[in-house]
Every structure is written in C-alpha cells, then in structure tokens.
Structure 1
Amino acid sequence: MCMPRAADRAGEYATEAVARGAAAVVLVGVETEVEGVAVLRLPDMAQLGCLLRRWYGTERTSTLLTGITGTDGKTSVCWMLRQALSRMGRDSWGCGTLGVVRDAGQIESLANTTPSLLRLHALLAEAQAAGVTDLVMEVSSHGIAQQRIAGLDFAAAIWTTLGHDHLQDHGGFDAYARTKAGFIRTQQALGRPVIANADDAQMAHYLSDPVLRYGHGLYRTSLAMAWEQELPGFVRLNDGKREIVVEDIPLGEFHAENIACVATYLRYVRGVEMQALPELLSGLTAPPGRLEPLPTLGDWQVFVDYAHTPEAMARCLKVARELTRGRLLLVFGCGGERDRAKRPELGRVAVELANLVWITSDNPRGEAPEVIASEIEAGMPRPYAAEVHLQLDRERAIAEAVAELRAGDTLVIAGKGHENYMEVGGVRLPWSDRAIAARYLERKGYAQCA
C-alpha cells in the first residue's frame, strides 16, 4: 500500500514489494505505474479506510471506540478512562503514547501516538476478536492530518487542552488548532457526544456547541461537570444536581481536571449516576512518567514527568511548588527537529517557577544539543530569577541535581517521563530517567546515612 506521504518514492516501493512477492499494489492518491501485478487505485485515505474495514471485518464492530485529542492530558485521560471502564466490568484497552495497553496491563510499544491506519484497523479487529468492549485511543494532530483515523467509527470524542506543540509540522498554531478542531467537528456532525475542557481559553475559539464541558469552579451552571480541589488527593465534582467527593486521586491539580474529564464521560456518555462515580474514580492511578514520584532515602522529593510543552511544564512545576518546603530544582531539555517556538517559552517558564535549573539534552535527534540549549536560554529573562546550569550530558545533569538536594527540596526531571530511549542522530539509545535518578538517589541516601 502506497500512501500519499510516500508519493515521491511510490514507484520504487511498489517495485520492491512486487519483487518480494506482492500479488497486488494499492495506490492511495498516488500517480505511478506498476507492472506485473494487479493495481487498485484509490482517491484518498477515506476510501482506504473503507477497504480496510471490509478486509478486517470491522464494519460492524461491537468494540466502542473513544477518541481523545489535546496538546496535553491525552495520555492521562486515556489511561484513567480505561481503568474506570474496566471497573465497570468492561474489557477495555488503551492506545496512544504509551503504546497498546491491554486490560491485563501489558503494554505493547508503538512508533506513533496514533499508529498507521493499517495498524489501527488490525488492532480494532484484534480487540473485536478478543471480546474487548472498549478501545480508548489518543488521536494526535499528526494522526488527524495524515488521515490515520479514516474509516474509524468513534462513539465519542474528548478534547483536553490546546497549547503549543508540533507547530513546525502544521504551519503555525492556527493550522494546528484547526486540525484538532476538525476531528471534533466531524464527530459533532455525526451526532457523537463531544467533551471539552471549558477552562482552556484558546480552545474555546475553535469550539461550537453542542459540547459537554467540564471546568473548575463548583457552581458554574454552564458546565456539564464542575470540579474543585481543596486538598491534594481529593476532588469535588458537581453536575448541577448533585455534589460528590472522589478520594485518593493522583497528585496535581491537572489530575483533578483529568478526573473531572473522565467523570463527564462516564456520567453523560455511559449514563453512570453521580453517586456511583466515587467507586469508579477513587484510587485511579496516573500513567507512568506523569509526575511520578521516585523512592528516596532522604528528606526530599523527586518526580519524573513527561512535560515538554510550556503549558504542561507550568502545570507540573506549580504542583511541585505546592508540595515543596525548600527549593524547587528542575532538569529539562527540548527535543530536536521539533517545534522550535516552544523552546524559549519553556526556558521562561523554567526560570520563573524553579529555583535551580539544569538545561540538558532531550532527544536531540539530528540537531546539535548546544543549539537547542541556546534557544531555550534565549527565552530566560535577564537577570535570571533562578540559578541556571548548562549541562548537555543528561545523566550528569541529573547527577548534579541530585547532589544538590537538601532537606525540603523537590527535584523535577522533565521531558521524557515514561520514555525508555534517547534519540540521537536517528538512533534510539536505551535510556531511563527513572533508573538513572534512582541510582544517584540511592548513592546519596546511603551517603547521608553514613
């Protein structure tokens, strides 16, 4: 199958496929000649989606598909919603940044947050054969723009946040936002329920009713679900008729917001009564690498977090500040060959909210780490409000930050979260912020005890 993105090399790929024994070639929006085999020409990805539905037998699937888009929050909402649906006795899988998460908890890695159209239809067929009732999936802007979700029939859609990411691939913020909004509007046109975050001012510009909105402030009558957090680990929810308390939720106000999103879905899409929600929502866990605490032997805290946009970094650091008696330390970098506009913004957020900052490497890919670091530094107002260190060796940066920890301090290692690789020059090298930090924390703890 030759997709539009491979149009310039379609003939080469098709010839190679035929040489390897392909009996037929499918060309999607591609003009090229292929000899010696049957050729099926399709005008667009939507037609390919129809073909795949026939091929995989997913035309009348019993598996309900929920799509979650948003700059930040997709993975957490996907993870939590899958857990909540499982508590309802439904066999639920997740698909997104972490990979394919099956109900038993095993995770199969994926190359992309939203995998290829072929992989998605195959996954849906697998889920259907396994008796899975729900597939909750992240829908990325790339997945929408490249029509990787063509032919998929969503039961509901969620839009969590709108911020700055992947702008280099979409030609600017407005195009990026309209890509996400296009997915939402398509679902609205089909009569599917849509849930959105009422507190995201940027998102409001691209939304139109009908939308089920959740937001902060218990007594806002315009909301389908209002939330308020008075203490860490608790959240109050109000649907305009009844107020409930959900206990034992992950740390961070943004996770209270995520719980409210899941509650809105359960209440209005699945018809769960308010009084039944605490049992489904209390004790839900956050996904790996989302403000994930590491065990320590000293009077300090260390978190690993996936925050890599200015908005996510600000939310993460504000929560960490609330939990901190002493200083707030931050280790972070920016990915290479990705949205450069967010680099100075991340630098600004870092020095405004942390006391000590280490600028380091984070998947530099084909870019020079020192160039990325200089673009981060360019956004830091002079004189620095924080103490700033430049250490491009990420392990050394983590080691230096751990060594600096004192009683009451908190260290946030941001950007990679759950990732188990460092991408350099087209190669993914084994990596784990958690494992590296744990090693230096253990040494520091033993040294303190001695």
Structure 2
Amino acid sequence: MITAVAERIRSARPDDGPVEIVGDAGARVTGATLRAHEVRPGDLFAALPGARAHGADFADRALERGAAAVLTDAAGAERDALRGSDVPVLVHADPRAAIGPASALVYGDPSTRLEVLGVTGTSGKTTTVYLLEAALAAAGATTGLIGTVETRLGGQRLPSAFTTPEAPDLQALLARMADDGATHVAMEVSSHALSLGRVAGTGFAVGAFTNLSAEHLDFHADMEDYFAAKARLFDGRSRHEVVCVDGPWGRRLVTDGTVTVGAPDADWRAEHVVALPDGTQRFTVHGPDALELPVTVRLPGAFNVTNALLALACGAATGHDPAVLARGLAQVRVPGRMQRVETGQPFLAVVDYAHKPAAVEALLQTLRAGTSGRVLAVLGCGGDRDRAKRPVMGRLAAQLADHVWITDDNPRTEDPAAIRAEMLAGAREVDGALVDEVGDRREAIAAAVADARPGDVVVVAGKGHETGQQVGDHKVPFSDVDELERALKRSAGGRP
C-alpha cells in the first residue's frame, strides 16, 4: 500500500522530485489526517511544515494513537520521533501538495464515483452551491453539499470549519457521501483550498467561476496572485468549465469549450427580469439550442440572477434538463445571504454575509433599488485580515446608506476601536453622511431597528450565517439573525 501511495504522489507531482520510502513499503493504511490528535489506528499522518511548528514535532503523539505511516519532508524525517521509527515514513519535497493525491488513493478515489461540481470566485459561491444543490435534487439526483455555512449529507447537517475542508477530510467526506448513495456533490472551492492543495486529488465534473474582486489580499500577494489561485480549478481538473463572463477576470478563463454565463453574448443569459416587492425575481433564461425558459428565484439582486444562471448551466453540463433544474430554484433560501428576518415589523430587515467592498456595494445598491424608504446599515470589519478594505467599506456604506452604524465584526486579536477608526476614516470622506460608531454589535443592531420607520430597510452585514464572534482567542456566541429578531421584538418600531 505504501508503494502505491508513493507512486500516486509521483504521478500527481512529477516535478517535485522523488518520494523516498523509509521502512516497510508494504504497510497498509486505511485513513489519513493532518492532525496528530485525530489519528486513528491505520491512518497516514501527514506531518507538514508550518509557520510556527513542524507537524513532525507531534509525530510521537500520532504514533501513540496508531498511525500506520507518516508523510513528511526531509526536515520532518530528521525529527527525533521519526528517526528510527517502526512505521514507514514517506519523504517528499512538498508533503502538503502530496497529501491530496495520497488521501484520494487511501479513500478509494471517491470523486470517480461522484459528479463533483465545484464553484469558485469571490462572491456568490455559497448561494450558487445552494441553488445548484436544489436544482440537482429537483432533477432526481441524490445530493451532497460542502460549503461555508454547512456540509450536508442527505438530511444530516455537519458544521463547516473551512469553506473547503483539508484534503484528507475532503476525501473522507466524499467517500462517505458516495458510500451513502450520493450521486452529485455541489461544493465551494476557495482560493486557499486551491493554493494549499486541499482539492488536489479531486476530479471535478464541473468547475464554475462566479467573479473576482479584492479579498484575501492578506494571503495572496496581489490580485494577479489571487486570480491565479482561482484559475487552478480550470487547469484541466474539471471535465466541464462554466464561467461567468460579465467581468474581465472571467473572460480571461475562457478557452475552447468553456460554457459562458451572464454577459449579453454568453451561452446562458437572462432577459426581462422582474423584481417583486418581496425580493422574488422572475426572468427569462436564454441558453444553448434556442432554449427559452421562465425562471423564478426568491433572492433579490441582479447578482442572484447571475448565480441562478450559473447553477442552471452547471446542472445542464452534467446532462440534466434545464426546465427540470429550474423547478428546484424557486424555493431556495440561503442562510445569511439576503436572509429576511420577519416579526411583523413594517419595514424590511435583512442579514447578509457581505464583508468585502464589492459585496457591500452590490448589497446596498440592491436594497436601495428595492425600497422607497431609507437604507439603514450596520457594518464592521474583521480583525487580522486585509486592512486596505476597511476605509473602502466605510466609504461605500456612507455613500449608499442613509444611516450607518460602524460596529465590531470579528476583531480577533486586533484592537476593535482601531478597526472601527479605519472604517470611520473612509466613511467621513463622504460629505453629509450620517455615521455613528457603536462598538457593541448588539447595541448597534438595536439602534438601527429603533431608528427604522415604515418602508425602510435595516441591513446587518458582514457575519451572515455565523453563530459566534471571534474576540481574541475566544469565540463568543453571537448570531446576527437572532440579535436582529430580538431587537425587532423589543422595539416599538418593530410592531405594526
């Protein structure tokens, strides 16, 4: 088995040099993990180099828990716990890149037993994946979902630690889904996942691209580096490629055979869009082979028309009837994405995950277009993340909302007041803007609700589906949806 794992790594990473096997090349492994404390008997433990420590420093714990083999680099193989170890050690120049193909083999190459549809891009991944899952289910597929909000296996919900799980976890999850009868899996694919090899070893039936705007520039060197990470989903690992081409980044991905979405000259496009007061949208889809199809989605905003188009095109790429797929779109609601909170109040109250400039701009423009009243926005920025976006988000909020409450998001290890100050600096560039600073997020939400009048819109942006607030090293229970609902029930303005 170890020989087979080494050969899989060699074939997947031919430019990374040889894979050395130290010890019994015939040892059998039955699972894989990156975490020593999660090792189960028979696992391959991937001891990866890190910024603060080397995974091989914890190899003794992995071995005590029954690791059957270890994958590491030359530096890791020299650690005391592995020198002279009784278990085989695979030594490779880039074990992080190698663990994906190795895990896929260990778990029986589950993506060959499933139709995996991956969606990447800056905004819209979550919504598109939910729409795609519903469309495929309507077409008779047995579906799984892997994403930011949750992982779903049939009717069972599992929490998501990452938008895209680490490679061994992903392969184990796909194997479980295949074993339990899933036929199609819709999953979000983040730039981190593509950069760090989390989806290495996964074959995609469809790779889809939504859009690109500034985000994660604390991780990526610049926008070109960010785009290059996203583009890896379109390096041949996806059998079909479906790309939204209403912006320049998407157009750069187009090659022969690419299915295009969203632009007037695209293969899939929408016309005659009608936005109803409750946020529902109806439009006509024009697609390949003279397709003309009426579609309804219960999500407001032009970007959600594009997300629905992308979902339809992805489902059609796997051979399903677009008319049947469209039936599944009509009832989709996405947690924390344009999520309405209703307690009988005479104004619209919405929670949304928008936490980057382009998303905040699109959110507020959409809400502005749909109301004759005021737009009241509660917004913060996360700590230990891209600082450049903070004044931009503050300025956009001040430009597009009638009243803004700058508050805390997930400050993490930063001073919350310093984060707010950077946002306020941008907001105060807007002449005549009405902006308040309320550090306590609960109080900021209550203040916005108390200020609301009939016909207004209250939007709480940034955290969406999240159920905790990261303060220092602690996560404090906090839900924008729950807090907004409580504020509405407490406020006299929240009763008709």
Cα distance, 1:248–1:169 mapped onto 2, change above 3 Å: closer
Report deviation, 1:16. Answer: 3.2
Give the conservation status (yes or no) of the 8 Å contact 1:289–1:304: yes
Counterpart Cα distance in 1 of 2:103 and 2:382: 34
Report if aligned partners of 2:404, 2:435 keep a CA contact under 8 Å in 1. yes
Of 83, 101, 109, which aligns to 1:50? 101
Residue deviations 1:332-382 (CA, integer Å, cap 9, x gap): 101111111211111121011100000000010001111111111222353
Contact 1:63–1:128 (CA under 8 A) maintained in structure 2: yes
For 1:227, which of 270, 284, 301 is the aligned residue?
A: 270
Indicate the residue corresponding to 1:239 in structure 2: 287
Q: 1:136 to 1:439 in 2, by over 3 A?
A: same
Q: Which stretch of structure 1 is more off in the superposition, 179-188 or 422-431? A: 179-188
Structure 1: runs of 5+ lacking an equivalent? none
Question: Is this contact kept in 2: 1:42–1:48, CA < 8 A?
Answer: no
Tell me the CA shift for residue 201 of structure 1: 2.6
1:300-334 Cα offsets, whole Å, 9 max, x none, are: 11000000111111111111112222110000101
SS at match of 2:178: helix
Give the alignment of 1:79-90 within 5 angstroms: 79-90=130-141
1:53-132 to 2 correspondence within 5 Å?
53-58=104-109, 61-104=112-155, 106-132=156-182
- 2:204 aligned with 1:181: no
Where in structure 2 are the equivalents of 1:165-314 lying within 5 Å? 165-187=215-237, 192-205=239-252, 207-216=254-263, 220=264, 222-228=265-271, 229-232=273-276, 233-239=281-287, 241-267=290-316, 269-281=317-329, 283-314=330-361
Q: CA deviation at 1:273?
A: 4.1
Structure 1 stretch displaced more, 415-424 or 310-319 = 310-319
Structure 2 runs not aligned, ≥5 long: 1-45
> What value does the CA root-mean-square deviation take over the aligned residues?
2.1
- Provide closer, same or farther for how the CA distance between residues 60 and 303 of structure 1 changes in structure 2, counting only shifts above 3 A: closer
What is the letter of the counterpart of residue 230 of structure 1? V
The CA distance in 2 between the partners of 1:29 and 1:212, in whole Å, is: 43
The answer to whether residue 415 in structure 2 is matched with residue 365 in structure 1 is no
Distance 1:310 1:107 in 2: 31
User: 1:347 & 1:60 partners in 2: Cα distance?
Assistant: 43
Secondary structure of the corresponding residue to residue 77 of structure 2: coil
Moved more, 47-56 or 92-101: 47-56
Q: Is the 8 A contact 2:135 2:327 kept in 1?
A: no
Between 1:145-154 and 1:5-14, the stretch displaced more is 5-14
- Kindly report which structure 2 residues correspond to 1:287-436, keeping only aligned pairs within 5 A, or say none: 287-380=334-427, 382-436=429-483
Maintained 8 Å contact 1:117/1:147 = yes
Classify 1:85/1:179 alpha carbon distance in 2 versus 1 (closer, same or farther; 3 Å). Answer: same
Q: CA deviation at 1:9?
A: 2.2
Mean CA deviation greater in 57-66 or 121-130: 57-66
Query: Does the residue aligned with 1:180 lie in a helix, a strand or coil?
Result: helix
The 3-state SS of whatever aligns with 1:40 is: strand
Q: CA deviation at 1:107?
A: 2.1
- The residue that corresponds to 1:13 in the other structure is 58
- The Cα of 1:164 is off from its aligned counterpart by 1.1
Q: Secondary structure at the match of 1:155?
A: strand
Task: Judge which range, 59-68 or 415-424, deviates more.
Answer: 59-68
**Aligned counterparts of 2:129 and 2:389: Cα–Cα separation in 1:** 25
**Other structure's SS at 2:202 match:** coil
Alpha-carbon distance in 2 for matches of 1:317, 1:7: 40
What is the letter of the counterpart of residue 42 of structure 1?
A: H
Separation in 2, partners of 1:123, 1:252: 33
* CA distance in 2: counterparts of 1:253 and 1:128, whole angstroms: 35
AA aligned opposite 2:284: R
CA distance in 2, matches of 1:60, 1:226: 30
Does the CA contact (< 8 Å) of 2:407 and 2:420 recur in 1? yes
Instruction: After TM superposition, give the deviation of residue 275 of structure 1 in Å.
Output: 4.3
State the Cα distance separating 1:43 from its structure 2 match: 3.6
Q: 1:160 corresponds to which residue? A: 210
Report if aligned partners of 1:304, 1:413 keep a CA contact under 8 Å in 2: yes
Inter-CA distance 367–92: structure 2 relative to 1 (3 Å threshold)? same
Match of 2:38 in 1: none
Supply the AA of the counterpart residue of 1:433: D
Partner SS, residue 170 of structure 1: coil
Distance verdict in 2 for CA 1:23–1:348, change over 3 Å: same
Secondary structure at the residue paired with 1:416?
coil
- Cα distance between partner residues in 2 of 1:140 and 1:430: 25
Stretch moving more, 347-356 or 227-236? 227-236
The corresponding residue for 2:39 is none
Is the 2:315–2:322 contact (alpha carbons within 8 Å) kept by the matching residues of 1? no
Give the distance between the partners of 2:48 and 2:179, measured in 1 at CA: 27
SS, match of residue 407 in structure 1: coil
Aligned residues: 439
Aligned residue identity for 2:149: L
SS at match of 1:168: coil
